[in-house]
Structures are given as structure tokens and as C-alpha cells.
Chains A and B, each alone.
Chain A
Amino acid sequence: MRRKLCGEFEYFRNHSLEPLSTFFTYMTCGYMIDNVILLVSGALQKKSVRDLLGRCHPLGRFSEMEAVNIADTPSDLFHAVLVETPLAPFFQDCMSENTLDELNIEVLRNKLYKSYLEAFYNFCKDHGDVTAEIMCPILEFEADRRAFIITLNSFGTELSKDAREALYPTCGQLYPEGLRLLAQAEDFEQMKRVVDHYGVYKPLFEAVGDGSGGKSLEDVFYEHEVKMNVLAFTRQFHCGVFYAYTKLREQEMRNIVWIAECISQRHRTKINSYIPIP
């Protein structure tokens, strides 16, 4: 499924001109970040490079990938390997001499993604026109979603509040007051109270079910993302349709994998808890 999507993506890319080709490059940066982190954490677990390369996302391939596992610190990683790739500009905040252990890898991943998202947002905004009208709300939602998920998953871990705040992307609606309040939250109830000030997100949090029966926050966010991506197709002559198409195809793949797992584990009642795409 992924190979088919990759084939379609490359087809679009090969037929594109500026600024669409830069837009496509921005889209692939997200996958490149995931691949770099996969390779670095695989090296930590002493996995062979060949296995890891086979599992990398095809949309995020770049020629220097095989050399990623030789680096011990983020500075080495940048200077030795990634300086020639499109990821180079996102390393501004990430240069440090700390060795790449599990905590630092996670921090690196989130900082890279934050820089990438902000750069992508600025690119869309500068492009103006319908693209900005469609893409900017989508990217703002993505930034806020990351802030919520980072906060939720960091409860009970060794990540400090200041370190957490440094990982939040600043191109969303929550910046700056919401992010500051979110950084101080210590449990889900406090997060909900922060969200009460934002009309867009309040109904999403209210839709989250309790315990194992209802929807999780990630499900609710995926649903909202699907709605926004579907609306991108109602306008014409903008780059956002390619982004929306790719994201909706990914959601389809997630749904198919979920259904397959439910069948293999014989949980037929749970099959219908996927997110339908109209």
C-alpha cells in the first residue's frame, strides 16, 4: 500500500514546477525526520543498517541515510551527515553535545519536527492565495495537536516542564498563552481547563470517552484532521490538495491495518472503531 502511495507521490512530484516542488520537498521532510530517528534509535539497539533501511518510510529517503548510524551526538549527526540534506535548516536548536540516548532522541525528534512545521507554515503563509487559506489552518491544527499529545504523553515521565515547553511548535492557535498554560498542566483535567478557552478544541476534548470503551484523544484528533483534509478538496488551484490527498491515503492505510489486526485477534466488535473517510 505504501509503495503505491509512494509511486503516486513521485508521479505528482516529477510533473511539478516551482513552487509546488518545494511544497513536495517540505512534505517529505516530515518522513525524513522519522527515518533519521528510526536509524539512530536502531543503532542504539545494535540493529543492522540493512534491516533498518528496509523499514524506513520510502517518501523520506535521502542518499545520506546509510551514514546516520555512525553519529554519537546531534552535532556529529549534523556536521557529518545531514548538512547537505533538506533537514539542515531545522537543526538550529538541536545542536548539543549530549550523547544520543532514549530521552535525547525523543527531544531531538520533537525539536526537529517543531522547526520543520514552523518553516512549512511560513512557506505556506508567504505563498499566500488559496494555498495559505487551506494549509495554514491545517498546519496550525497539527502544531496544536502535537502540543497536546506531547503534554499528555509526558505525564509521569522524566521530561521536565521547561523541556516540554521547548518542544511545542509555535505556529498554532495555542501560541503563546495556551502553550504556557499547557506547559504547567500536570494531568488530563488541567489540560481540559486550558482547552476551555479555545472554542475549536473544546468539543474535541468533550468527545473523548472514559476508560477503554470510548474514543481516545488521538482518535478524536485523527477525525478532525480527516474533516479538514476533506474540505481541502472543495477549493481549486492550490497545493493543499496534494497534502490532503497524501494524509487521507495514510488514514486509509491506518484503517486497513487496524481492521486486519482486529480480525487476527478476533475482536470483530472493535472493527468499526476506525475513522471513515467520506
Chain B
Amino acid sequence: MAAADLRAELDSLLLQLLWDLEELESKRVALNARVEEGWLSLSKARYAMGAKSVGPLQYASRMEPQVCVCTSEAQNGLQKFRVVRAGAQSPEEVGPREAALRRRKGLTRIPEPEVFSASPNPLNWFGILVPHSLRQAQASFQEGLQLAVDMASLQIHINWGRSQLRGLQEKLKQLELGAA
């Protein structure tokens, strides 16, 4: 029966949605933890190196990103985000590439002007001999970055799931009204 199939599909979609929501929540908690750890490690580095050695004096006001967020289409037509090292060439992409420079809030699409050479490690802005806590801070923020990108992909998948769910519920209502 069409209604029974529809109900089964609805159930599996709902389960998938709940599963995605749980994963999103756990990734959010992990992201908060990484960011907190990163800031605490920065404070520890400031304690060890001196407060003025870890601050805005050490970095240029314009900086080139080391990583970019790239968008691609998955099989079901949904957008998927992934982190890519700036300047890394992908063999499958032909023609103008869509690269997005990551900002703190939201994503902006900017056409990439040229290929970057191997970008220097930002850790070197603070000197060559940096304490372990500064390296830990960098690792925490890098992990946080990956988590944020995964969360964005998951959010798109959840929004799609919700719209599918609504669509299926409408169809089921129509079927039941037709049968009655």
C-alpha cells in the first residue's frame, strides 16, 4: 500500500533527522571545548612568554588564509563543505574554481585570483622557539575549524531532511484524505 510505504519512509527519514541532530549537538559541544582550550592555551603562552609577546603586535593587519572552505555538490544535490589547504590544486576540477574565504560568520564567495605558494606557518609570527602551549592552541583551533565545517554540512543536510519530512507528511495527508 502506498500509505504504508510512505509511513515507512517517513519513519526512516525522522530517525535519520534525529540522528543528525544528535551528531550536530555533539559536534557543537566539541567545538566549544576546542575553542575554550585554544584560548586557555593562548593565556598560558602569554604567561610563559610575556603578555606583549602574544598579541596583535605579532601579526600583520592583512593576512593570507592557510586554508579555504570549498563547496561541492553531493550525490543528492546538496551542498557539502570541506576544508582545503590554500593553493592545493584539485585534479578533478576543471575551469574556474569556486573557492570561498572563510570568515567568522557565514561564508562569502570570492573568485581566487592566483595560486598561493606554500604558506608560512602562522606560529612563526611569534618566533621560532615558541612554547608548547602555543602549539597546543594552534592544534585546538585547527580541530575546531574542521568541526565548524562539518557542522555547516550537517546543518544543510538537516534543513533538507526537514523539508523532505514536511513534503512527505503533506503527501500522506493527501493520500488519507483521498482514501477517506
A159 touches B44 (CB 8 A): no
Whether A157 sits at the interface, judged by CB under 8 Å, is yes
List residues of B (40-57) whose CB comes within 8 Å of A's CBs: 40, 43-44, 46-48, 50-52, 57
Which residues 21-70 in A have Cβ within 8 Å of B in the complex?
34, 38, 41-42, 45-47, 51-52, 55, 57
Q: Quick check: is A265 within 8 A (CB to CB) of the other chain?
A: yes
Q: Provided the pairs A153-B131, A159-B129 are in contact, do residues A265 and B57 lie with their beta carbons within 8 angstroms? A: no
- Mask of A102-113 contacts with B, CB within 8 angstroms, 1/0: 110111011000
Residue tally, chain A, CB below 8 Å to B = 37
Instruction: For the complex, count residues of B whose C-beta is within 8 A of A.
Output: 26
A261 located at the interface, meaning its Cβ lies under 8 Å from any Cβ of chain B in the complex: yes
Which residues on the B side are within 8 Å of A47 (C-beta)? 57, 60
Contact, CB under 8 Å: A265 / B43: yes
Which one of B18-26, B111-119, B120-128 is at the interface?
Answer: B120-128
Decide: A41 and B51 in contact? CB cutoff 8 A. no
Q: Are A106 and B128 in contact (CB under 8 A)?
A: yes
Which of B48, B125, B128, B130 contacts A216, CB < 8 Å?
A: B48
Closest to A156 in B: B135
Determine whether B160 belongs to the interface, using a CB cutoff of 8 Å to chain A: no
Main secondary structure of the interface of A (DSSP, over half): helix
A109 to B129, CA, bound (A): 11
CB of A55 within 8 A of CB of B132, answer: no
Give A265 to B40 CA distance when docked, in angstroms.
Answer: 8
Residue B133 interfacial (CB < 8 Å)? yes
A153: chain B residues at CB < 8 Å are 129-132
- By the criterion CB–CB under 8 Å, are B48 and A218 in contact? yes
Would you call A159 and B128 a contact (CB within 8 A)? Answer: yes
**CB <8 Å contact, B57 and A254:** no
The residue from A55, A149, A262 contacting B52, defined by CB atoms under 8 A apart? A55
Given A102-B124, A265-B36, residue A254 in contact with residue B129 (CB < 8 A): no
Complex Cα distance A267/B47, Å?
A: 15
Q: Are A52 and B128 in contact (CB under 8 A)?
A: no
**Which one of A52, A106, A218, A265 lies within 8 Å of B39 (CB-CB)?**
A265
Is B57 touching A52 in the complex (CB atoms < 8 A)? yes
A247 CB → nearest B CB, Å: 13
Q: Which one of B44, B60, B125 has the greatest number of beta carbons of chain A within 10 Å?
A: B44
Q: How far is the CA of A46 from the CA of B62 in the complex (A)?
A: 10
Binding site for B on A (CB under 8 A): 34, 38, 41-42, 45-47, 51-52, 55, 57, 102-103, 105-107, 109-110, 149-150, 152-154, 157-159, 212, 216, 218, 254, 257-258, 261-262, 265, 267, 270
- Give me the 4 closest cross-chain CB pairs, A-B, nearest first: A153-B129, A106-B128, A261-B43, A218-B48
Q: Which residues of B contact A (CB under 8 A)?
A: 36-37, 39-40, 43-44, 46-48, 50-52, 57-60, 124-125, 127-133, 136
